[in-house]
Amino acid sequence: MKIKTALTVFTALILAVFAGMAILLISTSDLLVLEAANLARAGESIRVSKEIKSHLLIYNRNVFLYALHKDPSRLEISKVHQTALVNLMVSSDQLVDNEKESVMLKEVKEKIADYFRAKDESQNSDLSPVEKYSKISEKVDSAISAIDNIIEINASQMRDLVASTSKQNIASGRMVFMLLTIGSLILLSLVIATVSAVTRPLVNLNKLFSHYRTGNDSVLAKSKGVKEIREIANAFNSMTERLEKSRTDQLRFIASIAHDLRNPINAMSMGSHLLRGLCQGKERGVAEIIFRQAKHLDRLVGDLLDTARIEAGEMDIELSLQDISSLISDAVELYQTDSGLHKIYFEMPKNPLICMCDRGRLSQVMNNLISNAIKYSPKGGTVTIKVREEKTQFVLSITDQGMGVCPDDLKNIFKPFHRSKASKHTILGIGLGLSTSRRIIELHGGELRVESTLGKGSTFYVILPAQISQSEGTNWSAGV
C-alpha cells in the first residue's frame, strides 16, 4: 500500500467517526430541545390548571361570603377572580398538544360553565346562603376533579419526559463512548501501522545506511513497509549489488595487472641488486635508488594482490608458535638505519613474547605500520614503538609526531583504497596497506586500532593473543 493511499483510508475512517459523533450530538441536541419544550409546556399547563383551581375556589368562597354578609368588598374580589378565571381558560387552549388533553380541557370548561349557571340559578331561589353554597359546591368539586385530572396527566407526561430524557442521555453517552472507542482504536491502529509500515522500516534503513557508511558493505535492506519504502530498500540493494560487482571487477583487474607487473619488477630488483655490487660512486647511488624503488613497487604490488585475495576470501595464513620479540626488533632495526630524519624510540620486555602467528605476515604488518609512521611524518620527529603485556595479550603501539588524521577520515582509514584528504596529494600510496594489515591481524585473532589528532600525530595499536594452548598444534592455517 502506498503512503498516500494509507493516509487517505485512515483519514476517511477518522472523518467518518467524527461525522457520526457530530450527527449523534446534533440529533441528541434536537431531541433534548424538543423534550425541554414539552417539559416546559407540561409545567406551564400544570401551573395554569392550579391557578384556575385556586381562582375558582376563591371566587366560590367570596360569592358565599357576599351572600352571607352582603359585604360589597367580597363582590369586588369575586369579580377580580372571575376575570382572571376567564382569561386563564382562554390561554389554556394554547397549552393543549394532544386529543386527550383537549377533551379533558373541554370537560373542565363545561363543568365551570355548569357551576356559573348553577350559581346564577341559586341566587334567584329562596334557599338560605348555606344551602346555596352547599348546592353549588357540588359543581365546584366536579370542576376541580376535572382540573386535577389535567394536572395529573401533565405531571405524568413530565415524569415520562424526564425518564425518556434520562434514557436518551444514557444511550447518547454510550454511543459517544462507543464512537470514541472506535476512533481511539482507529488512531491506535494508525500509530501501530505507522510504526510497523513507516517508522520501523525507516529506522532500520537509517541503521543500515549507518553500517554501510562505516564500511559494512555486505548489508542488505529488508523490503518491508509501504510501497515507497520498499522501493527505497530495493533501490539500495540494487545499488550495493552493482557497487559490489564493480568492486569485484575492479579487484580482478587490479590483481591481473599486479601479476603482470610482478615479473618485470623482480627483474628490475635483481638487476639493480647486481648493479649495486658492480658499480662504484655515483653509479652505485643510482643503482641503490633503483633497488629501493623496485622494492617499493614490489610492496605495492603485494598489497594489491593481498587485497584481491582478502576480498575474494582466499587469503590463508600459516600459524605457528613464535617468539615475536625478534620479529619486532628486526623491523625496528631495519627502519632505524633507513631513516635519517626520524628518531626511533623502542621499548620492549626482555622476556620472550610467545604467540601463535604467521611470521611472514606479521612482519609485513610491522613493516607497513613503521614505514607509515615515518612516511606520514615528512618533517621528521620521534617514532615511539612500545610492546607491553596485558594479562592474556600483547599490545604493540607505534606513535608518530606526523600529520595525524581528521575525524571524518579516521572512521574510513582501514577501508581499501582510502586516502586521507590531508595526505592524498602530498604522499605517495594507494591506500591498501592498512586494510591489508587489519585483515592479517584479525586472522591472528587480534585487533588493529588507531587514535589520531590532526596535526599532532597518530598511534596504532596491534593487539595479539598471548596465551594459546600448545595442544592445539604448532602449524595450522586460517582463511578470511
**202 in a domain, yes or no?**
no
**461 in a domain, yes or no?**
yes
CA distance 478 to 315: 8
**343 in a domain, yes or no?**
yes
**45 in a domain, yes or no?**
yes
Same-domain pairing of 309 and 334: no
- Bridge partners of 452, per DSSP, are 458
pLDDT value at position 337?
57
pLDDT value at position 460?
95
**106 in a domain, yes or no?**
yes
Same-domain pairing of 376 and 398: yes
Same-domain pairing of 359 and 380: yes
Same-domain pairing of 266 and 320: no
Domain count, the chain: 3
Same-domain pairing of 308 and 369: no
Same-domain pairing of 436 and 366: yes
Q: Tell me which residue range forms the domain holding 17.
A: 3-188
**252 in a domain, yes or no?**
yes
Same-domain pairing of 375 and 254: no
Same-domain pairing of 303 and 378: no
Segments of the chain with pLDDT less than 50 = 468-480
**135 in a domain, yes or no?**
yes
Give 237-249 pLDDT, tens digit per residue: 888 888 778 777 7
Domain's final residue, options 314, 332, 350: 314
**336 in a domain, yes or no?**
yes
Find all residues with CB under 8 Å of 319, minimum gap 6, and list them: 356, 357, 358, 444, 475, 476, 477, 478
Query: Which domain CATH number covers 292?
Result: 1.10.287.130
Domain's final residue, options 257, 286, 314: 314
pLDDT value at position 478?
36
Same-domain pairing of 413 and 467: yes
- Taking the whole predicted model, whether its pTM rises above 0.75 is answered as no
Domain's final residue, options 158, 188, 218: 188
Same-domain pairing of 69 and 151: yes
Same-domain pairing of 163 and 255: no
Same-domain pairing of 422 and 450: yes
Q: What is the largest CA-CA distance in the chain?
A: 178
